[in-house]
Amino acid sequence: MGEITTIGLDIAKSVFQAHGADASGSVIFRKKLPRSRLLSFFGSQPPCVVAMEARAGAHHWGRELAKLGHTVRLIPPAYVKPFVKRQKNDQADAEAICEAAQRPTMRFVAVKSVEQQASGVVFRARDLLVHQRTQLMNALRGHLAEYGHVAPKGVMHIERLVAQIENPDSEIPEAARTSLKAMVRMLDQLAAEISVLDAQIAQRAKEDVVARRLMTIPGIGPVTAAALVALAPAPETFRCGRDFAAWVGLTPVQRSTGGKQKLGSITKAGERTLRRLLVIGASAVIKQALIRGAPAGSWLAQMLARKPRMLVAVALANKTARIVWALLARGGIYRAPALAV
């Protein structure tokens, strides 16, 4: 029997499945481990590669197993699925993880530190509160439309509807007004919580040296800069800026065959928060360019003259992502390219 080189670990809440293999891929053991015995079991194993799917709890266990001397490899679940041979169960999943980790071309996810995960929680919490605020505003719009009160789109216009709810002379029945006022109070509370998180994010961006460098790029403000520092992997993970843009999901889907290149819409892979923030920042840059006028002969001016505005926003977000990788990998600040005379 060979020496254990790789262990595939299928993590769960209570019961874990481990699959050990040697360098040739031959099975050494298959074990079902309760949560209380997991660390003691791996503590008795010789240092080896421990592979897991990059899912909830993976970064925590990755840090704990690294303390025991193991080399941790986190694999995106989509890359593990092709190695599941037939039936879907914990034992088959652990074996598939082990096989995927032994592939020489497999891509891995870096284990995050506690500080990185804490910074990520701020953005996840903010996104959740923003979504809840949007749900409440849409509910208010729908309810008040039944009584003939409408308002334009946007957070700043919701005050018109709130004024109608609080106006005792409006035609809204008192039974409905009570419930609508409760929704308005929830809306005010969410706005206050979002403001607190925004201030916290802005403070983080002001104190972080890397975030300050990223804010020199047009279209990147405190929120996007802090999100990039917290959520983006180390720049060494990617070979070039295009690989980083592809990870964010800003490159076209390829359906090429027979030597014919066929490109579709963007892949929308990777980190949704970063992709959304980069596209929003690019849209702000385009809006300013349309108001003030883009420099004649610049890339942005040429694109706006030939392509739809939203397509240009995505293309500019792609370009911004590549610049972000360059600054993260090589240091320095953004310098606008000089126009050819």
pLDDT confidence band for 151 (50 / 70 / 90): confident
Q: What are phi and psi of 126, to 5 degrees?
A: -65, -45
8 A C-beta contact, residue 50 and residue 73 = yes
Q: Is the pLDDT of residue 270 over 90?
A: no
Q: Is the pLDDT of residue 338 over 70?
A: no
pLDDT confidence band for 190 (50 / 70 / 90): very high
Q: What are phi and psi of 70, to 5 degrees?
A: -85, 155
Tally the residues of the chain. Answer: 341
Q: How many CB atoms lie within 10 A of CB 305?
A: 9
Taking the alpha carbons at both ends of the chain, their separation in whole angstroms is 71
Mean pLDDT of the chain, nearest integer: 90
The number of angstroms, rounded, from the C-alpha of 63 to the middle of its chain's C-alpha atoms is: 21
pLDDT confidence band for 339 (50 / 70 / 90): low
CA proximity to 268, closest of 245, 240, 285, 284: 245
Q: Choose between 339 and 227: higher pLDDT.
A: 227
Residue range 36-61: mean pLDDT, rounded:
93
| C-alpha distances out from residue 220 to 4, 205, 210, 280, Å | 47, 11, 12, 9
**Structural domain boundaries of the chain?**
6-101, 114-207, 231-330
d(CA 108, CA 59): 12
Q: Which two tokens stand for residue 51?
A: 């592979």
Superfamily of domain 6-101, CATH level 4: ATPase, nucleotide binding domain (3.30.420.40)
Instruction: Work out whether the CA dihedral 138, 140, 144, 149 comes out positive or negative.
Output: negative
Which segments of the chain does DSSP mark as H helices, in order? Answer: 38-43, 58-67, 77-80, 90-101, 114-145, 158-166, 174-207, 209-214, 222-231, 241-248, 272-292, 299-306, 309-330
pLDDT in tens, 305-323: 999 999 999 999 999 999 9
pLDDT in tens, 118-144: 888 888 898 899 999 999 999 999 999
Residue range 247-271: mean pLDDT, rounded:
85
CA proximity to 177, closest of 168, 186, 185: 168
8 A C-beta contact, residue 162 and residue 104 = no
CA proximity to 52, closest of 66, 68, 41, 69: 66
Q: Is the pLDDT of residue 340 over 60?
A: no
Q: Is the pLDDT of residue 95 over 90?
A: yes
List residues bridging with 75 in a β-sheet: 53
Burial class (CB within 10 angstroms; exposed 0-12, middle 13-18, buried 19+) of 277: buried
d(CA 324, CA 216): 10
The least confident of 207-216, 240-249, 263-272 is 263-272
Instruction: Work out whether the CA dihedral 178, 180, 181, 187 comes out positive or negative.
Output: positive
Q: Choose between 221 and 263: higher pLDDT.
A: 221
